[in-house]
Amino acid sequence: MAIISIENLSKSYRVYQKQEGLLAAVRGLWHREYRDVHAVRDVSLSVEQGEFVAFLGPNGAGKTTTLKLLSGVIYPSGGSANVLGYVPWKRENEYRRRFALVMGQKNQLWWDLPAQESFRLHEQIYRIPPEIFRHNLDELADLLAVQKLLGRPVRELSLGERMKMELIAALLHSPEVLFLDEPTIGLDVVAQHNIQRFLKYYQERRKITILLTSHYMKDIAALCKRVVVINDGAIQFDGSLSGIVDQFSSTQILRLQLAEGVSAEGLDRFASVESVELPKVTLRCNRQDVTRMLASILKQYEVADIAVEDPPLEEVIARLYEDHSSGGKYEAKTGEPSK
Amino acid sequence: MADNNQIGQTKIGPNYLRVFLTFARNSLVRDMMFRTNFLIESVSSLAWSSMNVGLYLIIFQYATSIGDATGWGKYEFFVFMGTTWIINAIVQAFFMPNIEEFSDLIRTGGLDFAMLKPIDTQFLISLRKVSWSSLANLLLGSVLIGFSISQLATRQGTPWSLPPSVFLLFPMYVLCGVAILYSLMICLAATSVWLGRNQTLYDFWFYITNFSRYPMEIYARGWGIPLFVAFTFLIPVLVVVNVPARLLAQPLAPKANWEWPLALFTLFATVLSVLASRWVFRKALLSYRSASS
Amino acid sequence: MMSLASLPTQFSCWWMVFRIALEERLAYRGDFALGTLMRFLPIITQIFLWSAVFESVNGRLAGYTLPDMIAYYLLSMLARAFSSMPGLASTVAKQIRDGEIKKFIIQPIDMIGFLLLGRVAHKIAYYTIATLPFALVFFLCRGYFSSGWPSADVLLAFLLSLVMAFLLGFFVDLCIGLIGFWFLEVSSLLFVYMLLNFFLSGHMFPLDLLGSWQFVVNFLPFKYLAYFPAAIFLGKIESSQLWIELGLEAVWLLGLICLARFLYARGLRRYSGYGG
């Protein structure tokens, strides 16, 4: 039985179209134009208990909206979803006690107070038994190495430390499902790495289900076996990270190390040459041609070493976004007089 | 608390009292971090009130009562004013800072977090912060009432004597007043869901409650009658201060035949306003869309 | 420092700032409609309160008749519409605290000019909407202006006092906001200012009611924010005093401009000293 199941989930809403120019702004007092934005369209997905799933997609693709729908913060305009047996937007207390949402760009701790005061508040709101609270807090603070910072006002913490506190706040009540929206945004490499390591460890130990959105491929590569690519509010791909490359990249990269004294001349007959730094040569060719190509190259050149690689993931995904956004029927414009 | 955890975990909601106490405690911790600020705030809100006394001391130098034969002489009016302060102090201490923040939460999407918590969202939004310094006026109001009553009780001619029932009824009606004002505030704040930014909320609030700051008799003339009716029955701000203040300030005046019905109506209006505020809040949440989708 | 050639670009830059502020203002019409409507509610309570108060007074109170009193409140409201700067000081202080002030260090734009222009735009946006209700209310209440229109030179002085009230209000608020360079929270200071302003500007009551104490407020700048324009219009200020008083107001204004510049320069130096 899937722990999260989504069927044909959609969310569209209407925004006031701000007009350019002063006159238009004055006119906007009486007459306003709206447009419908389809943030999520017809998304279906099923996640098993213990999975760590990444949502990948450009800005405005609908990742955050999906997480908000699953948290029950907003209502869908269509479709259904079920998390842990609950319909999220009914916002039942039983459900809300069993998941958590962390948003990298937003802060839910009291700004002027030490984080531990906010934690104590969570203890009360989630009704965490004191001994469990104590135990969880100790464990999490140890894992994230922030024991000493618990008594310091949040506003004095660095971005990375604040993120760690946000994570603790979210995990104190031992949620079974965790939604992470850009948890490493704006962090430096070390802090990113720390948070990744923590998430990996914690997820494996507690066997909780995590949905993560991120811009950073590193986050995803380090954490998630399963990746869901969202663009224009719809799912473009659902599978393993390497699957993305298999499915969306038609080319592969050949790295040759030529034997001493061998010239790279003529290699462009076989495939497009990416770079030549003798004795190293990089070539790119179509996936299905690789074997044939290799055979003929080996026949004609003396090669010391050879490697076949997939193109870098970033490149594949960047291309994936481009492909889909070019066909954008992103929004329908509707002019509507209003009072 | 510890013994009912097993059940508490799954079935029972959060202990609202404890959550509130944590709010109050955290606010106090915060206030104490900015001690000077806290002190200045308390002093200035006291000064603000004293200024009001100043104005009426000036007015009562020229006039003998607010309105002819209404019974609102100097000290009766000061009892009225003290009641206003007490009610406003409670509203400002417990609700005002939160509800002012409500529009911000909507704009910045901070409401998302409130909605995630396994606790009544209206409760969470309404009581998150306590502005302890605002309670200074509660003290000052009590002192002013005490002083004015002692003046009235020892004056020549018709000295005051309070029936004991007042000590129960006065606090009760003060709380009714608070509840009505709170409901109005929530309804106003909820409009920011529909109107976008709502900077004028505070102004609106001030202007509406402005009506409640004076004895209701002053409106009962000419074109004031429709206002009187509207602000008694439609948006019942006139009863907020008038009913409890009247209990204290006019105990000897011959009870007009409309006083008891008004007192009963106040109870009714309180219940209705609180229900209305819940309804409006729920509606507002429904149409809330996260600022960033 | 500004070369002549850059004047047109400078001007177009300021024009842009002005337009953006105006557009931003007009985008929130819900606020607008409510705000304008509500602004007239206190006058209603004032009318009722003073009607009740005058019942136990014979005709005049500190030289004011009941119509005078109401007219005073209407006029002081008009003056306050010029001189009040909602949110200015707190926004400036917040920008300092959040480091948003950096924008003015980085971008080639003067903060005080930027803010002033923004305010002018806000006020203009406000008046485009508010003129009609204001005119309506004054028309409905024309009966309270028992002595009719004042003479032309008094009217001119009145208009001048309104413009200066706007500038004075702006620079006082700005100075308070700039104090945020030295104190983390200026909200309490702002509150004290609002308090003094409310009582001493004549917003709460005509300052003539103070009787023999009126000389105290005469030494303070607050009275220019509400009392002064209203008193001019109602002929409470003798014509011989009128222009002297306006001159004094200008001196106050000049002093405040200098103070704001000084605070800004000092504050920035302090701010960059910290490495913000």
Helix (H, G, I), strand (E, B), or coil: what is residue A273?
Answer: strand
Per the structure, how many domains does chain A have?
A: 2
- Taking CA–CA distances from C36, the nearest residue in chain B reads B200
pLDDT for residue C20 is more than 80:
no
Quick one: average pLDDT of B263-289?
89
Q: What is the mean pLDDT of residues A20-40?
A: 69
pLDDT confidence of B284, banded at 50, 70, 90?
confident
**Could you give the count of Cα atoms lying within 13 Å of B20 in the half-sphere of its Cβ?**
10
**Rounded to a whole number, what is the distance in Å from the CA of C105 to chain B's nearest CA?**
26
Angstrom distances, CA of residue B101 to CA of A104, B28, B107, B121, B262? 21, 18, 10, 14, 34
Choosing from A245, A263, A294, the residue where a domain stops is A245
User: Residue type for B224, please?
Assistant: G
- Distance CA(B263)–CA(A297), nearest Å, equals 99
Task: Provide the CATH number for the domain around residue A240.
Answer: 3.40.50.300
- Pinpoint the alpha helices (H) of A126-253: 130-143, 159-171, 189-206, 217-223, 241-248
What local confidence, expressed as pLDDT, does residue C29 receive? Answer: 56
Mean pLDDT, chain B, whole residue set: 84
**For residues B245-260, average pLDDT:** 73
What is the CA C133 to chain-centroid distance, rounded?
19
A283, β-bridge pairs: A254, A273
For A20, name the nearest residue in chain C, comparing CA atoms only. Answer: C23
Check residue A330 and give its pLDDT. Answer: 36
Task: Check: CB of residue C252 under 8 Å from CB of residue C260.
Answer: no
Q: 3-state DSSP call for residue A177?
A: strand
Residues A239 and A262 in one domain: no
Q: What is the pLDDT of residue A140?
A: 95
pLDDT of the residue at A335: 37
Q: Is residue B98 part of a domain?
A: yes
- Mean pLDDT on C33-51: 77
pLDDT at B70 over 80: no
Ranking A126-135, A150-159, A205-214, B284-293 by mean pLDDT, the lowest is B284-293
Asked if A153 reaches chain C (Cβ–Cβ under 8 Å), the answer is: no
Q: What local confidence, expressed as pLDDT, does residue B9 receive?
A: 46
Torsion, CA A238, CA A239, CA A243, CA A246, rounded to 10:
-40
Q: How many structural domains compose chain C?
A: 1
Q: How many CB atoms lie within 10 A of CB B163?
A: 9
**Residues in CB range of B288: below 8 A, 6 or more apart:** A74, B106, B111, B193
CATH code of residue A304: 3.30.70.1150
Close Cβ partners of C147 (under 8 Å, ≥ 6 residues apart): C234, C235
User: pLDDT higher for C241 or B2?
Assistant: C241
A207 has pLDDT over 70: yes
Tens digits of per-residue pLDDT, B37-56? 788 888 888 888 888 899 89
| Residue A264 lies in domain | 250-309
Question: Domain containing B257: what range?
Answer: 13-287
Chain B hits for C62, Cβ within 8 Å: 62
A274 lies in some domain? yes
Which 8-state DSSP code applies to residue A339? Answer: -
Which of A94, A139, B65, A316 lies closest to C52 in space, CA to CA?
B65
Binning pLDDT at 50, 70 and 90, where does residue B253 land?
A: low
Q: Is residue A147 part of a domain?
A: no
Q: Is-contact B73 B221, C-beta < 8 A?
A: no
Question: Does residue A278 lie within any of the structural domains?
Answer: yes
What's residue B15's pLDDT? 86
Of A67, A78, A64, which is closest to residue A4 (Cα–Cα)? A67
Is the alpha carbon torsion for B98, B103, B104, B106 positive or negative? positive
Q: Which residues pair with C15 in a beta bridge?
A: none
Q: Does C29 touch chain A (CB under 8 A)?
A: yes
Clarify whether residues A218 and A286 are in a common domain: no
Q: Do A29 and C23 touch (CB under 8 A)?
A: no
Provide the pLDDT for residue B87.
96
Output the pLDDT for position C254.
96
Torsion angle of C-alpha atoms B100, B103, B107, B109, degrees rounded to 10: 80
In this structure, the answer to whether residues A14 and A85 fall within a common structural domain is: yes
pLDDT of residue B192: 76
Same-domain status, A32 and A79: yes
> Which residues have a Cβ under 8 Å from the Cβ of C262 and sit 6 or more positions away?
none
Average confidence (pLDDT) over A248-270: 82
Whether A9 is covered by a domain: the verdict is: yes
Q: Where is average pLDDT lowest: A73-77, A148-152, B287-291?
A: B287-291
Query: Do both A183 and A303 map to the same domain?
Result: no
A76 and A182 assigned to the same domain: yes
- The answer to whether position A103 is within a domain reads no
- The pLDDT > 70 percentage for chain A reads 89
Question: Which of the residue ranges C33-37, C94-98, C221-225 would you say has the lowest mean pLDDT?
Answer: C33-37
Confidence of residue A9 (pLDDT cuts 50, 70, 90): very high
- Do both A179 and A93 map to the same domain? yes
Same domain, A237 and A267: no
- Side by side, the strands of the sheet bearing A4-17 are A78-83, A4-17, A33-47, A331-335
B79: in domain: yes
Q: What's the complex ipTM? A: 0.81
Position A325 scores a pLDDT of 52
Q: Do A68 and B112 touch (CB under 8 A)?
A: yes
Domains held by chain B: number: 1
Q: Which amino acid is at A168?
A: I
Mutate to test the interface with C, among B53, B203, B237 (most CBs of C within 10 A): B203
Look at residues A228, A245, A262 and tell me which one is the last residue of a structural domain. A245
**pLDDT score recorded for residue C175:** 93
Q: Which of C28, C57, C204 sits opposite B63 (nearest CB)?
A: C57
Chain A: nearest CA to B44, how far in angstroms?
A: 23
Question: CB atoms < 10 A from the CB of A233, how many?
Answer: 25
Amino acid of residue A31: H
CA distance A95 to A72: 10
Distances in Å between the Cα of A313 and the Cα atoms of A78, A318, B47, B208 are: 33, 8, 66, 61
The helix (run of H) or strand (run of E) holding residue A8 is strand A4-17
pLDDT in tens, A66-111: 998 999 888 888 899 999 999 998 888 889 999 999 988 888 888 8
pLDDT score at C229: 94
| Structural domain contains residue B64 | yes
What sign does the dihedral A50-A56-A62-A68 (CA atoms) show? positive
pLDDT at C27: 63
Element (H, E) at A54: strand A52-56
Which of C46, C84, C188, C195 to mutate against chain B (most B CBs within 10 Å)? C188
d(CA C241, CA C12): 41
Would you say residue A131 has pLDDT above 90? yes
Q: Determine the pLDDT at residue A266.
A: 80
Select the residue from A22, A112, A339 to test the C interface by mutation, using most C Cβ atoms within 10 A: A22
For residues A304 and A279, the answer to whether their CB atoms sit within 8 Å is yes
Q: Are residues A182 and A84 both part of a single domain?
A: yes
- pLDDT tens readout for residues B81-115: 999 999 999 999 999 889 888 877 877 777 888 88
Average pLDDT estimate for C107-126: 83
Q: Is the pLDDT of residue A205 over 60?
A: yes
pLDDT at residue B197, as a whole number: 56
Give the domain extent around C78. Answer: 4-274
Q: Which of A94-108, A306-320, B251-265 is most confident?
A: A94-108
**Range in A93-107, A263-277, B236-250 with the lowest mean pLDDT:** A263-277
In this predicted structure, the answer to whether residue B7 has a pLDDT above a threshold of 50 is no
Query: What's chain B look like in SS3?
Result: CHHHHHHHHHCCCCCHHHHHHHHHHHHHHHHHHCHHHHHHHHHHHHHHHHHHHHHHHHHHHHCCECCCCCCCEHHHHHHHHHHHHHHHHHHHHHCHHHHHHHHHHHHHCCHHHHHHCCCCHHHHHHHCCCCHHHHHHHHHHHHHHHHHHHHHHCCCCCCCCCCCCHHHHHHHHHHHHHHHHHHHHHHHHHHHHHHCCCCCHHHHHHHHHHHHHCCHHHHCCCCHHHHHHHHHHHCCCHHHHHHHHHHHHCCCCCCCCCHHHHHHHHHHHHHHHHHHHHHHHHHHHHHCCCCCC
pLDDT confidence of residue B106: 78
- Total length of chain A: 339
pLDDT tens digits along B128-179: 999 998 899 999 999 999 999 999 888 877 777 788 888 899 999 999 999 9
Residue B18 lies in a domain: yes
Q: Is the pLDDT of residue A336 over 50?
A: no
- Residue B196, pLDDT above cutoff 70: no
Mean pLDDT of chain C: 83
Between C34, C53, C204, which is nearest B63 by CB? Answer: C53
Look over chain A and give the mean of its residue pLDDT values, rounded to a whole number. 84
Q: Is residue A289 domain-shared with residue A276, that is, in the same domain?
A: yes
Q: How far is A24 from chain C (nearest CA, A)?
A: 9
B5 lies in a domain? no
- A268 has pLDDT over 60: yes
Residues B239-255 have a mean pLDDT of: 79
| Pairing state between β A251-258 and A303-309 | antiparallel
Give the residue ranges of DSSP H helices in A144-186. Answer: 159-171
Query: Residue A13 is nearest to which of B5, B23, B293, comparing CB atoms?
Result: B293
If DSSP codes are grouped into helix, strand and coil, which group holds residue A335?
A: strand
CB < 8 Å to B15, chain A: 124, 127
For a pLDDT cut of 90, what percent of chain A falls above it? 33
- Cis ω for the linkage preceding A279 (within 30 of 0): yes
Maximum Cα interatomic distance, chain A, rounded to a whole number of Å:
80
In this model, does residue A248 exceed pLDDT 80? no
Query: What is the mean pLDDT of the segment spanning B273-284?
Result: 92
Indicate whether A235 and A293 sit together in one domain: no
Give residue-wise pLDDT tens across range B179-188: 999 999 898 8
